[in-house]
Amino acid sequence: MRQRNGLINAVVCKRSSIVGSSFGDRLRQERLARSLTQTELGGALYSASYISLLENGRREPTVEIIKQLSRQLQLAPHSIEEWVQPISAAESDYLIASLYARQCWDTRDYVGAAQSAGAAAEKASASHDSVTWWNMTYLQANSLLRCGSHAEALEVLKRLLNNSLTSDSDALTMRTRQTMAAALMSLGRLPEAIEEATLAVEIGSGDTDEEYTAYLIAMQTLVGALAESGDLEGAWQHCVALVDAVTDSTPKQLAGEIHWVIGNVAFIRQDINTGLSHHSQAGRLLSPTQDLSRWAQFNKATAWVRLAAGVVEPATLEAIERSELAHSVVGATRTETLEVSLLRARWLYLNGDMDAALTLLESIGSERDVLANHIAGDTALLLGKVLKAQDRTEDALAAFNDAKAMFTEAGATERISQAMESIVEIESLRRSGSRQ
């Protein structure tokens, strides 16, 4: 609470001076919207400390500075010149709200970020500031995703997609569709996720570094959706393209996430050595200090695909434990907590501790409504295997049929086949027993 109050006080203090420092606040907002540091914005001409002085209103921008910053921000010079003009009280309100939304995001207060970004978007819309409206609405959607409010995020993204700013820009359309695909995956709506991710990728890589990065992220999302649906060959074809896309100039975090995705698909295809190689590279490139939340997700995914491939070794257990620890630090959603518990249950099953696995799976199953359909199906499928190992054949058959229904709803064709194989096996055993 003390930290929140500090942020509020900072914003309140800002209110008295914001009318006189329009340029600095707009500059900060545009820089943060592009995830640029002050050093990156200044480039080779201006130091981070000088950019800080501009943002704090302690230096006035010259014509030359405006031209240089417009190039760095990829904006028309005249649009930056307008920032020098005093702003109204209404503009002051939504600029303050947008700054607070960014601060909430930076401190991982995603509920606060979603609320503040939504409020800033409404105020910006009332002031006919379409650019700020777009940035804040997009931040609101991403904050909702981080909170686990996937359905609500999807509705926000649909509004973005139908906005004229989005339809007039390939880069914004790509980013919106990619994020929609991620939301649909989280909801277990895999065919729709594949459709949105495919549309994003088809837009192309663009001419700027920002557009190329968005394209690579869209490719990763498409690979993930295809793999989850069971189209491993389609997923691998895109993985091959991603391998070629990683160069020495690719940011480490992005390169690490690409290796992570490729490793996941390799494991699912039972290409264990390739999976280990790519996950090893991802582990070296991804930094928990840069994004602990993504680090937690990486370890969860690593453990998941290792266990799915039957790789039961100390490194797999380490990934589970790192995921549990990192999620506890960042404040996991209930969905994430259940998914991590499912990892632990699978580990127990593969190591022969059926009683402990059953207890955990029954607990997860009681809350399966918060899981995506294909993850809830995975829970039921594993439950069926545990029950079968305990010779509880009828209960196992019910669990396998449950898994089949949820996989069908999710559109996870490969998983449907797995459930069917288990159902056929048990029914065959029942027929054989009745004949004896």
| Residue 22 structure tokens | 């329009």
- Give the C-alpha separation, 135 to 14, whole Å: 21
Residue whose entry in the numeric block shows the structure tokens 């294909």: 374
- Give the C-alpha separation, 220 to 261, whole Å: 6
Q: Reduced to 3 states, what is the DSSP secondary structure of residue 286?
A: coil
- Give the C-alpha separation, 332 to 338, whole Å: 10
Per-residue pLDDT at 398: 96
Other residues' Cβ atoms within 10 Å of the Cβ of residue 6: 11
DSSP state of 83: G
Query: Do 325 and 295 form a contact (C-beta atoms < 8 A)?
Result: no
CA distances from 238 to 233, 276, 345 (A): 9, 19, 31
CA distances from 400 to 143, 345, 349, 424 (A): 35, 17, 16, 10
- Give the C-alpha separation, 159 to 142, whole Å: 14
- Give the C-alpha separation, 304 to 17, whole Å: 51
Buried b or exposed e, range 69-90, using 16+ CB within 10 angstroms: bbebbeeeeeebeebeeebeee
Q: Reduced to 3 states, what is the DSSP secondary structure of residue 309?
A: coil
Domains of the chain, each with CATH number or no CATH: 1-122 (1.10.260.40), 333-436 (1.25.40.10)
pLDDT in tens, 107-143: 888 999 999 999 999 988 988 888 889 989 999 999 9
Buried b or exposed e, range 369-392, using 16+ CB within 10 angstroms: eebbbbbbbbbbbbbbbbbbeeee
Break the chain down into helix, strand, coil percent, rounded to 5: 80, 0, 20
Query: Do 25 and 95 form a contact (C-beta atoms < 8 A)?
Result: yes
| Residue 17 structure tokens | 């001076």
Per-residue pLDDT at 137: 95
Q: Which parts of the chain register pLDDT below 70?
A: 1-22, 74-92, 433-436
CA–CA–CA angle 264, 186, 409 (5° rounding): 100
- Give the C-alpha separation, 319 to 331, whole Å: 18
CA–CA–CA angle 406, 407, 413 (5° rounding): 165
Cα–chain center distance at 431 = 47
The closest of 331, 309, 328, 306 to 319, measured between CA atoms, is: 306
pLDDT in tens, 137-155: 999 999 999 888 999 999 9
Per-residue pLDDT at 91: 65
